[in-house]
């Protein structure tokens, strides 16, 4: 254990195609301004249940339901942003299932989304999952695959 970095992983928040965050069609994410990570383009469906990508504490659930932030027991900070520009919906189509301060396991439901409604309003539901605190992690590797909900798709080492 001396001098070795501890490995950790993030899980897909729902089933879909996984890409590196650099492939997200939004410069804030693709240029990694918010951090390293991945994104999932959900499979087709009218509803989408967004799961915790890691075990830890829900630090903040945005009142609009479009995003939530978590912190693991090791202090790693993770942001899940459901769709692009979805804050503009002002919570319409989002049902928050968890609250700030709540401890959750990876795979627990956090937000339920009326995907049909969000897509009909013209929004892309690609969902970035990013490690937001610089200097906490290194060697971030993303498995660009089609993932099932709660499948490990991103590994990293703790600094």
- Domain ranges in the chain are 7-158
Catalytic residue ranges: 81
Chain segment 65-101, per-residue pLDDT in tens? 999 999 999 999 999 999 999 999 999 999 999 999 9
Q: Which two tokens stand for residue 36?
A: 């390293």
pLDDT tens digits, 19-69: 999 999 999 999 999 999 999 999 999 999 999 999 999 999 999 999 999
Query: Fold for domain 7-158?
Result: Glucose Permease (Domain IIA) (2.70.70)
pLDDT in tens, 123-151: 999 999 999 998 889 999 999 899 999 99
């Amino acid at each position: 254990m001396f001098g070795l970095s501890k490995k950790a992983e993030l899980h897909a928040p729902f089933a879909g195609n996984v890409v590196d965050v650099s492939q997200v069609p939004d410069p804030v994410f693709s240029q990694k301004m918010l951090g390293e990570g991945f994104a999932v383009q959900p499979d087709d469906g009218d509803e989408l249940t967004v799961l915790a990508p890691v075990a830890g504490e829900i630090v903040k659930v945005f009142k609009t339901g479009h995003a939530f932030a978590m912190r693991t027991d090791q202090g790693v900070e993770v942001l899940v942003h459901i769709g692009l520009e979805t804050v503009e919906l002002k919570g319409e189509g989002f049902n928050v299932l968890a609250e700030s301060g709540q401890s959750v396991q990876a795979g627990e439901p956090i937000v339920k989304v009326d995907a049909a409604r969000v897509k009909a309003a013209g929004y892309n539901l690609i969902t970035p999952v990013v490690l937001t605190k610089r200097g906490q992690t290194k060697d971030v590797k993303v498995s660009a695959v089609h993932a099932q909900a709660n499948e490990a798709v991103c590994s990293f080492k703790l600094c």
